[in-house]
Amino acid sequence: MKSEHVLHPGLSRDQPIQILVAGAGGNGSAIALWLPFLHQAMQVWGFRHGLHVTLADGDVVTETNCVRQPFSASDIGLNKAIVLINRINLFYGRTWSAHPKHLRKDSLKSKTPPHIVIGCVDTRKARQQILQLVSGPNKNTVYWLDLGNNADSGQYVLGQPLNSVNRRNATRLRTVAELYPEIADPRVGEDPLPSCSALEALERQQPYVNQALASSALSMLARLFHYGRLKYHGAFFNATTGRMSALPVDAALWRKTRPSARKSLPAVG
């Protein structure tokens, strides 16, 4: 039965909403560069502190990254997270943070825990690390938003990981790992990653798929913060057909999806 999801009460208007973006590649860079617009909108809507964003990625910029990601030749050899956060902070006057390392399940023990983790990673192992980071009795992450894609299609799914702030109940938003377990299971094997060749990289991942997913995912978050409720918590995009299919908030559908998930969703970030 379709229903609505109501914004978690732990996301107060009187504190900055802490967002951790895991991955600064195709999806992660698009998300990071557009989060300042969400920050400014939220301040208008009464979240006076807006967002505080941490961008985490251990990779450095390569020549191939300059083809379809927002990096230039002068960035080659520099850490992706540092490049993007410095750019955002200089342009918007923010004090957002870069974590120039890949996330591990214990990466953020000494840092302010994120309210929302936006996963833009490209392997099942990395998704498993995020799952471990946000799940468990001592974890306080309210939402995990996962983005993934292959050459000409992709998905984003907003879920509430089981932890100290999200108890097991029928209305809790299921995470991508619950709906499609193989996407966070390294035992399945990894999909091929983009090649060092710019031409082959473009064949494996078409331009603008990342931007389509990022803008749609952030539009969903914006609606959640603005109106306090959602009727869908993700979508599937196909660039070949031009179709975007929403994932409704529907407990009956969640029950059907997991047993029938024989193949994983696209894993490239």
How do residues 10-33 score in pLDDT, each as one tens digit? 999 999 999 999 999 999 999 999
- Maximum alpha-carbon separation in the chain: 52
Correct CATH for 5-260 of 3.40.50.720, 3.50.4.10, 3.40.50.261, 3.90.79.10: 3.40.50.720
Q: Are 196 and 173 in contact (CB under 8 A)?
A: no
pLDDT given at position 191: 65
Check pLDDT > 90 for residue 207: no
Confidence of residue 193 (pLDDT cuts 50, 70, 90): low
What is the residue extent of each domain of the chain?
A: 5-260
This prediction has a pTM of 0.91
Report the DSSP beta bridge partners of residue 21: 55, 118
116-175: pLDDT as tens digits: 999 999 899 999 999 999 999 989 999 999 999 987 889 999 999 999 999 999 899 999
Per-residue confidence at 108, pLDDT binned at 50, 70, 90?
low
How far apart CA 169 and CA 164 sit, in angstroms, is 13
Q: What is the pLDDT at residue 264?
A: 45
**pLDDT of amino acid 112:** 82
Residue 257: pLDDT band by 50, 70, 90 thresholds? confident
Rounded to the nearest integer, the mean pLDDT of the chain is: 89
- Containing 41, the helix (H) or strand (E) segment is helix 26-44
All residues at 6 or more sequence positions from 165 whose CB lies less than 8 Å from its CB, including other chains:
8, 10, 140, 141, 142
In this prediction, what percent of the chain has a pLDDT beyond 90? 73
Length of the chain: 269
Least Cα distance to 21 among 115, 150, 160 occurs for: 115
Strand, coil or helix: what is 37? helix
CA distance 54 to 251: 32
Look up tokens 């790992």; give the residue.
Answer: 177
Helices 26-44 and 209-227, packing angle to 10 deg: 30
